[in-house]
């Protein structure tokens, strides 16, 4: 959902998704690549031609409880992206979540998360919304596959 004006006046709730590929640096620290997409439906009073969309590609870090044999794994994540939404953007995001391992020896985890995204306009020559920064908030479900080389 858009939190800042003018986006909050012209766009309602939407849907988003991201796909990440991470590599473990330490037991509790991963780095990775992320691609994402968000789409917000326009409100009736919106002067824009269509829905609001944001495409992103970025890099980030994830801090988490060491996986070992833990069933509940809290995590935090910071991602810096390049984005496109009618012009170039620099989306910066912070997320927090809680994942649950589906079985003692399972590599699959499901969870809940919340993500705050601050989208900086990069000053393209595109008029309109391309000149405004935006603040977005999302809540969702996560599905993770964690390949572990060893378990403690």
Question: Would the pTM count as exceeding 0.75?
Answer: yes
Of 37-41, 55-59, 72-76, 110-114, where does mean pLDDT reach its minimum?
37-41
Q: What mean pLDDT, rounded, does the chain reach?
A: 84
E strand or H helix at 54, and its extent?
strand 52-64
Edge-first strand order for the sheet with 72-84 is 11-26, 29-42, 52-64, 72-84, 88-101, 108-121, 134-145
**Residue carrying structure tokens 């849907």:** 15
Q: Is the peptide bond before 6 cis (omega within 30 degrees of 0)?
A: yes
User: Higher confidence at residue 44 or residue 124?
Assistant: 44
**What are the backbone angles phi and psi of residue 93, rounded to the nearest 5°?**
-130, 150
Residue 5 has pLDDT above 80, yes or no: no
In which band, very low, low, confident or very high, does the pLDDT at 151 lie, cut at 50, 70 and 90? very low
């Amino acid at each position: 959902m858009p939190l800042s004006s003018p986006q909050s006046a012209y766009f309602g709730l939407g849907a988003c998704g991201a796909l990440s590929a991470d590599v473990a640096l330490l037991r509790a620290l991963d780095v990775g690549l992320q691609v994402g997409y968000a789409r917000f439906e326009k409100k009736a009073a919106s002067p824009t031609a269509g829905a609001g969309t944001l495409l992103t590609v970025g890099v980030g870090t994830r801090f988490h409880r060491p996986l070992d044999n833990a069933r509940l794994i809290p995590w935090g994540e910071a991602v810096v992206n390049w984005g496109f939404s009618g012009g170039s953007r620099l989306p910066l995001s912070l997320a927090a979540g809680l994942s649950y391992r589906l079985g003692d020896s399972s590599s699959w985890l499901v969870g809940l998360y919340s993500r705050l995204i601050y989208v900086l306009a990069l000053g393209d020559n595109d008029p309109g919304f391309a000149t405004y920064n935006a603040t977005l908030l999302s809540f969702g479900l996560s599905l993770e596959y964690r390949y572990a080389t060893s378990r403690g």
